Every structure is written in structure tokens, then in C-alpha cells.
Amino acid sequence: MATFLYKLGRLAFRRRHFVALIWVALLTLAGVGAASAPPAGNSSFSIPGTEAQKAFDLLEQRFPGASADGATARVVFKAPSGEKMTDADNKATVQKTVDELADGSEVASVADPYTGNAVSKDGTIAYASVKYDVSGMELEESTKDALEDAAQQARDAGLTVEVGGDALQAVPETGATEVIGIAVAAVVLVITFGSLVAAGLPLLTALIGVGIGVSSITALASALELGSTTSILAMMIGLAVGIDYALFIVSRYRAELAEGREREEAAGRAVGTAGSAVVFAGLTVVIALVGLAVVNIPMLTKMGVAAAGTVAIAVLIALTMIPALLGYAGRRVKPAGAKGRLLGRSRKGEPKPDRPAGQPKANLGTRWASFVVRRPLAVLLLGVIGLGAAAVPAASLELGLPDDGSQPTSTTQRRAYDLLSEGFGPGFNGPLMVVVDAKGSDAPKDAFDDVAGEIKGLDGVVAVTPPAPNKGGDTATITVIPDSKPSSVQTEDLVHAIRDAGGDVEAKTGAETLVTGSTAMNIDVSEKLNDALVPYLVLVVGLAFLLLIVVFRSILVPLKAALGFLLSVMAALGAVVAVFQWGWLSGLMGVEETGPVMSMMPIFMVGVVFGLAMDYEVFLVTRMREAFVHGEKPHQAVVTGFKHGARVVTAAAVIMMAVFAGFIGSSESMVKMIGFGLAIAVFFDAFVVRMAIVPAVLALLGKKAWWLPKWLDRALPNVDVEGEGLRTAGERGSDPDEDRELVRA
């Protein structure tokens, strides 16, 4: 591995014009594809294997032409103080609005509030339901404008009017904080390298990689039904890992220069050593993201695969474009220790007056590692107890999917949600649709009535509509209004109670009862994600464990890495619960509405955080293993690993935290929560687990940390992450025949 990457790095350094041309061409091609691609439609949110999805599919079969996946809107009217919606003037205004909405080219139907029993008991609030032929993401802008104009005209007439539903669904915005995150990354890079040129290389390559990845996703969005969130998450992860991977290779390049090697040789060795770590770190991230497919939720699978593709691009760019750009930069990228005069640092070979020549001052990483190996047990206990305390809120974790009630109060969707709750009760925003399949029943109508009667007798039910059969008379829908809000535990209990009652009816009549609707779908998704969490964790951690055994040639080091990850991810989940569910520091994070944590958050965090955690494990511990393999004692190897890697890992973690934290400013609650969760998880994992717990455990284990059974050592392939083979490969120099073979390969 190291020898191949060494040759690749030297080849890219020499053939830099060719390498740069390839990547620029790919970026251009992806950009043209994104610009010419049709707009993305509505992302498919099918959940195979759930009752809600089965009912939805049945509706499409038995109620053809009903536009089950069409966009909906609820135009909610509230009368001025002292008036009622049934007053003549207000009624005329509503009627005019309904007529204007019905004229739309994409409108399937509009329900008049006064003929559809859509006026509150006190007469102050009414709503008109609008059904469209196409999904919310496919609606033309003119249709959305017509909806907003109709609402505004009713406001001008003196009514309070808000619009809910998905008809006004918009692409989420990330806000200015994303730019701030990149700016922070730039500052950290300048401080780390002391050079604008060296700092600019990781940023440039990361932006090119993200540009290719996101443009490719945009180009394929319509064909693959990729949602807008997919590209945002790919950008988030691609930027973070892209900067980090390039940072590690540039840092190793400067270290090789400091040892007196020529620039081409230094580039080859940097890619051969740090590049090997990049490959395996990237592979763990890809495994974790692609592994999301085991959950069997197509939307989550697509998000994971798209983000994994962006990570793969980041790895390839780090291995090829970074050495090419180092060739262009020439002497402007200085050796480590010669950080230039940008930050006022002394150059290599110019010792400070207060220190004798030949006695360089130990860096902070060395001093910290020396402290940890002297007091490993105390550091270990402090780190574990601290993360355990942070994880305590995770015991109160409540899961759900966001709805209009979780949106900021400044949005019309949220205000419409609140008006409907005020006029019709909290459960009105999350009606349950019960589908009764009586095809196997001898008396379908009696079966419909039996189901409706059973539901009316359940606790927590406000209203039950009469069964509405299809033309064939073998299937009917019943709408149930709970007395609790959609995301509550009470509503979840009611869904299970209806399904249990349906089982009793089926035993008597042969009619199958299914519960669907957005609320039931959210409940089924949450349960499916919970059920998949343990198998997913076993699969991803197991595969990565095997991979790390190959990398480190040890049993205990990968085991320690996995246990440390579990600590950091649980602590991160605890922080998410504290902020987004309990409301701690919610104002600082821009969280206007607390509530259940997004259902996919735990499994998504497990996947992404595990991959990122292994990045730091690989980068830091490979340096320790390299020192140990070259003859250093275990404690000294830990210190050496920190001497060379701590500063760079710290910079990489700060950069990744800044990039993730930049997405906290997103208008999309899911993106905001993921941005915060990943940022705090990186903090816990990099600074508590990898910087404290890892060296403490390795110090306690000593030589046992690198133990591997002899039979397993013989069976495992030698990937040479430490670059041992480069000691002879680097002395051979360039071989044109080898270059040609590499190009053909």
C-alpha cells in the first residue's frame, strides 16, 4: 500500500499539469451536468416493510387518480377580534379566496370551509384544504405565488391568514454561518502552517472535491429522486473530511522536507505514509455511510451513498491533487519548523535566545502526552466520568420526525399549525388515516362500520369520520382526529391501540385494518430506525474493527477504538437531547421550538461519527505504531505519536467542528440538529477520547497494546501503513517504466 501510494504521489508531483487538468475537467463536467439537469422532484419517502407504507400502496391501487402524493395546503383564516368567520363579510372574503385558488392550473380540488365542516366551534377560525396534482417540490413558482397572493388578499380584507402544508415547501438554506465555518477553518490552517500558500491548499482541494460531489448529486437528483437535504449533508461531510485529509498529507510533506528530502521525494513519502492513513480513514467513513442501507429506508440509503461518494472523491483528491499542487507551490511551502515570518516564528536552525542550540523546546503535544503516560489511570477515569455525565440526558431520548409544529414561529406554516390547534385541538394537525381492506370480507359495509365503532370507543379520540368507500366498495378510509399533538407519546399509543382493535375486527369479519398518514408514517419510521440501530452498529463496528486489525496489527487497539467511539457518540446524543429536547442553550443555537429528537439522528450519528472518529484514531495511532515498529518503547512511542500528530489532529478537529457548526444556521431543523450533533461529537471524540483516553489506555497496556496472535499475524495481509517499505523504495529514485505501468494500472 505505502509503496504504491509513494509512486502515485511522485507521479502526481511530476505530472502535475495532467493531474490538475483531469480534476478541473471533472469539476467542469459535473458543473455543466448540474446546470443542465432538470429540477429535482419530490424525494421518495417510501418505508418498505411498514404498515403505513402498505396502507399507502393500497390506497394508490384502490383509489386511482386520487393524487395520493400530491402537495397539500391548508389556508387558515381567523376572524378579527369580536367577529366570527360566519359573518357575511368574512364569509364573502373566504369564498372569494376559495374561488381564486380553484382557478390554478395544478390545483386538483379546493374544499370550501362552509360546506366541509371546517369552521371551529366558536366560529373564529376556519380553513380551506387545497389539493394539488403534483408534489410540493414539483409545483411551479407561479402556483406557489398564486397561493400566497390569495392569502394576502384575504389579509388585506382584514382577516388573519396563514398557510400550512407542504405546498410552500422550500429548499433549506444554510445561512451565513456556513461561510463563517469555512473562514474559521482557513484561520486554523494559517496558524497551523504559518503560510498562506500551505493553508490554501487543503481549502482549495476540499472545495474542488465538494464542488464535484455536490454538482454530481444535483445532476442526478431528478433521476435518482434525491432530496435537497442530500446535497447539504454531502457538502457538510465532504468539506470536513476534504480539508482534514489534505491537512494530514501537507503536514507530513513539510515534515519530510524538514528531514532534508527533495520535494518530489517528500511528496511521495507524504502520500505513502499519511496517504495510507487517509485511505483507511476514508474507507471507515465510506463503510459507515454505505452501511446505512441496512436500515432499508431508501431516503437514508441515498443520503449515505451520496455522502460516501463525496468522501471517496475527497480521498482521491488528497492522494493526487495535493502532491500536484505541492509541485506548483515549490519553495512557497516550507519545511516544518520553518513556518516563515507570517506569524513571527523563528525559522529552523535559528534557536531562540532563551534556549541553547540543539535543544528544541518540546511542543504542547509532547508535554501533554508525557503528562498522560505518567498519570494514565487518573486521566482515563476523568475522561470516562466526564463523557458519562454528558451522556446522562440520552436516557431521556424521545424520537420523532419534524412537522410544521417544529418550525420557527416566524414561518406561516408554524402559525397555521398553531391556529389549527387553537381552533380544532392539537390532534387536528396530525390526523390518522385508517384504511379498511374488506376485499376478503362477506359484508364489507358492516366491517367498515365495525372498525369505526371500535375506534370511537378508544381513549384519546376526538372525532371519527364516517367510512368513505371506493367505487368498488371493497376498501374504505376513515379519518381519526386524536386529542394529542402528532409528535406526542399519547398519539403513538393511539396508533397502536387502533391497530390492536383492527386485529380483533379482522378476526371477526376478515377485513384488514391499516393505519397510515404522515403521523403514523413518522411513528413507523421511528420504530424501524430503533429496530435497525443494533444490527447496524454490529455491522459497521464489526467491519471497521476487522479493518483496524489489519491496519494496526493488534486486537486491543481496535477494541479500544470502538469502545471510545461508543462513549463519544453517547455523550454527543446526550448533548443533542439537552439542547433540542430540553432546551438548554436553545437560544444560542437558534432552536425556537424544542421537541423530540429527529428519528434518524441516532443511527445517522452512529454512522457518521464512527467514520470520523476512526479518522483521528488512524492518524494519531499510526504514528505511534510507526515509532513502536521502529524500535521505541511503548510509552515513548505514545509521546512520539503526539509529538508529530497532536498539533495536526487538533487543527483537523477544530476545522471539522467549525465546518459542522456552520450548518447550525440552516433553516432546516434536521440539518441544524445534525450540524450540532456532529460538531459536539467531534469535540468529545477528538479532545477527550483520542487525546486523553487513547494515550492513557495505551500507556496502561504497554506492549500488550500491540499484541496479535502469531497465526493471525501470518494470515493478515501486510498493508504497510507505517511506510516501512519506503526505506528502500525511496532510494531507487524515479523509474519511467514504473510510471508508465502505474498510468496503465
Q: 652, 244 in Cβ contact below 8 A?
A: yes
**Bridge partners (DSSP) listed for residue 461:** 482
Pure H helices in 72-195 = 88-102, 141-156, 177-193
Residue 305 corresponds to which cell in the numbers above? 451513498
**pLDDT number for residue 740:** 39
Whole-number Cα distances in Å, 711 to 19, 448, 549, 551, 708: 42, 67, 13, 16, 8
State the pLDDT at residue 533. Answer: 83
The residue with cell 420557527 is 408
Do residues 50 and 517 touch, judged by C-beta distance below 8 A?
A: no
Residue 477, strand partner residues: 435, 468
- C-alpha distances out from residue 188 to 129, 175, 658, Å: 52, 21, 10
**d(Cα 502, Cα 741) in Å, to the nearest integer?**
68
Q: What is the pLDDT of residue 350?
A: 41
Identify the CA nearest to 304 among candidates 610, 564, 23: 610
CA–CA gap between residue 465 and residue 477 (Å, rounded):
9
Give the strand pairing for 399-400 and 597-598. Answer: parallel
Among residues 294, 285, 198, 199, the alpha carbon closest in space to that of 238 is found at 285
Task: Residue 572: name the closest of 434, 685, 470, 441 by CA.
Answer: 685
CA distance 105 to 123: 31
| Predicted pLDDT at 722 | 58
Lookup: cell for 690: 483520542
**What DSSP assignment string belongs to 578-613?**
IIIIS-TTHHHHT--S--PEETTHHHHHHHHHHHHH
Rounded to whole angstroms, how far apart are CA atoms 618 and 624?
A: 10
Q: Of 622, 5, 1, whose CA–CA distance to 268 is shortest?
A: 5
Q: Which residues of the chain have pLDDT under 70?
A: 39-46, 65-70, 135-138, 169-178, 225, 227-228, 337-362, 402, 592, 667, 720-745
pLDDT, residue 725, reads: 63
* 327/329 Cα distance (integer angstroms): 5
Dihedrals phi, psi of 614, to nearest 5 degrees:
-70, -25
Q: Which amino acid is at 477?
A: T
Specify whether the CB–CB gap between 522 and 690 falls below 8 A: no
Distance between CA atoms of residues 601 and 300, nearest Å: 11
- 357 grid coordinates: 542550540
How far is it, in rounded angstroms, from Cα 234 to Cα 26? 17
Instruction: Assign 82 to helix, strand or coil.
Output: coil
pLDDT confidence of residue 69: 60
Query: Cell numbers 377580534 correspond to what residue?
Result: 81
User: How many angstroms separate the Cα of 207 from the Cα of each of 36, 74, 318, 323?
Assistant: 21, 41, 12, 16
DSSP string, 673-708: HHHHHHHHHHHIIIIIIIIIIHHHHHHHHGGGGG--
How far apart CA 91 and CA 84 sit, in angstroms, is 9
Give the C-alpha separation, 333 to 198, whole Å: 6
d(CA 251, CA 46): 45
pLDDT for position 346:
43
- With cell 493471525, the residue in question is 712
Which DSSP letter does residue 513 get? Answer: E
Inter-axis angle of helices 376-391 and 364-374, nearest 10: 100
Q: Is 352 exposed, middle or buried (0-12, 13-18, 19+ CB in 10 A)?
A: exposed
Other CB atoms within a 10 A radius of the CB of residue 542 amount to 12
373 half-sphere exposure, CB direction, 13 A CA radius: 20
CB 554 within 8 A of CB 705: yes
| Amino acid sitting at position 330 | G
Interhelix angle 669-683/634-661, nearest 10 degrees: 160
Q: Cell numbers at residue 635, please?
A: 510509552
CB 406 within 8 A of CB 595: yes
CA distances from 721 to 2, 3, 612, 629, 672 (A): 6, 10, 18, 11, 37
Q: Which three cell numbers stand for residue 725?
A: 517499505
DSSP 8-state code for residue 577? I
Q: Which residues of 102-141 are buried (b: 16+ CB within 10 A; e: fewer)?
A: eebebbbebbebbeeebbbeeebbbbbbbbbbbbbbbbee
Whole-angstrom Cα distance, residue 613 to residue 545?
Answer: 13
In this structure, what C-alpha cell is assigned to residue 79?
Answer: 376572524
Neighbour count for residue 718 (Cβ, 10 Å) = 11
Rounded to 5 degrees, what angle do the CA atoms 609, 611, 613 make? 65
The residue among 529, 523, 448, 527 whose CA lies nearest residue 482 is 523
| pLDDT tens per residue, range 337-392 | 664 555 454 444 444 444 444 445 667 878 888 999 999 999 999 999 999 999 99
pLDDT of residue 171: 56
Res 233: pLDDT: 78
Decide: helix, strand or coil at residue 461.
strand
Q: 419 near 76, Cβ under 8 Å?
A: yes
Q: Reduced to 3 states, what is the DSSP secondary structure of residue 126? A: strand
